[in-house]
Amino acid sequence: MCGRFSLLQTPEEVEAFFALEGLEAFPPRYNIAPTQPILVISSAPPREPGSNRPDREAHLVRWGLLPSWVKDPKEFPLLINARGETAATKASFRAPMRHKRALIPASGFYEWKRDKASGQSQAYWVRPANGGICAFAGLMESWMAAEGSELDSAAIITAASTPDISFVHDRMPVVIQPEDFSRWLDCRTQEPRDVADLLKGAPEGYFEMIPVSDKVNKVANTTPDVQDRVEPKPFVSGKDDKPSPPDDQMSLL
């Protein structure tokens, strides 16, 4: 599960990495949490002949996907993650997997190793080992209320963790590599089955894990020190530990 992440790069760096244009200014975000607005990237509408407009566009949407067919959002769980293994067939994700695949810019994510015996948890800042930006696989959806108001939302797709991550948690975000951006975003000619091979964990060694303090546990803590390295808690004994059980999805209530 991915329940928190971060985006530290400048708008100019995000523009260059994703081949965008005209991205509005935004500050570094150290502790992005569910229900908050997140930046997502999708394919742009078809270009007119001779246009040099980018074929991708950015959106601000709520993190927590709400399917278009939901009648009452208060009675529906907050879907912050979608399992890659079932996204193409599960009712909540089937339509966006076919029509609204997206990329979610990130500098890394947070995960918690939990100890059942003590009830403690150790937070980790999981970032690309090269310190660069990455693109999580995402799904977008638009929901319209009876009175006409519209809500755009998104979820991050996850896959089974690679061995170097699984000692903390058994799930991790799917990372789409730059050479696969166009294929993943192409919902006109690429069916879900055509991009199923992309729904896997990043290569082993792609991420590095940094133990951080409990400051990140609180949504209100949004300053750079949430990513400061700390000594891991005593219960963290090493990579021979079993992975944590999968978490349930979060609720709106």
- 111: annotated active-site residue: yes
**Catalytic site residue 204?**
no
Residues 6+ apart with CB under 8 A from 172: 2, 109, 111, 126, 158, 159, 160, 161, 162, 165, 201, 202, 207
3-state secondary structure 120-145: CEEEEEEEECCCCCEEEEEEEEEEEC
The dihedrals phi and psi of 198, each to the nearest 5 degrees, come to: -85, -15
Catalytic residue, from 21, 24, 57, 111: name it. Answer: 111
| Catalytic-role residue among 2, 134, 141, 187 | 2
Q: How far is CA 113 from CA 51, 84, 211, 252, in A?
A: 49, 22, 10, 24
Task: Please identify every residue annotated as catalytic.
Answer: 2, 111
